[in-house]
Amino acid sequence: MRILREWLARLGKRPSPEAAAAGPAPPAAEAATLRRLLGGHCIMCAGDLAGHQYTMFASAVLGGPDPAPAEPFFRALEEQRWQDAAAFQEWEGARDNAEAFAIRCPAGGSAVLVMHDPYELDHGATALSYKVLTPESGRALAEVAEGRRWQPL
């Protein structure tokens, strides 16, 4: 989706409602964005991202006149209530979104990266937070993310 938005921006156009409704970026573009936000290396093992995996497990729409609907999303992430956070599965192509990703390190660690995915074509995604989890919290998140498709970073 981001690739389409960038291409349309070069043409001076906004995405069509159909393109905006298509959802988050495809896995290859999403992984490239995550690698950029992570600086190309893992803070858990200090290595490159080869063998690491990710999955988006929650997302919430941001912006608009009332930011209150996203507050429970951020509170659940901050308090590491993964089941509550995973209940948020909202995404709108015509609005800013926050996306929460679980990251698995082949050395055994887990982390959560929360990304701001802006609607504006000339703004890039930014990391809102990146937190290494305790083994217990990592196992709890893995249980919530079970059955989701994990992608290579």
Distance CA 109, CA 62 (A): 29
In the prediction, which pLDDT does 119 show? Answer: 87
DSSP symbols for 45-86: TSSBSTT-EEEEEEEEE--SS--GGGHHHHHHHHTT-HHHHH
In the prediction, which pLDDT does 18 show? Answer: 47
Angle (CA) 52-149-31 rounded to 5° is 45
pLDDT tens over the chain, length 153 residues: 444 344 334 434 444 444 444 455 566 889 999 999 999 999 999 999 999 999 999 999 997 666 667 899 999 999 999 999 999 999 998 889 999 999 999 999 999 999 999 988 778 899 999 999 999 999 999 999 999 999 999
In the prediction, which pLDDT does 64 show? Answer: 65
CB hemisphere CA count around 122 (13 angstroms): 4
Among the listed residues 73, 75, 45, the one whose alpha carbon sits nearest the alpha carbon of residue 59: 73
In the prediction, which pLDDT does 24 show? Answer: 54
In the prediction, which pLDDT does 28 show? Answer: 84
**0.95 exceeded by the pTM?**
no
In the prediction, which pLDDT does 65 show? Answer: 61
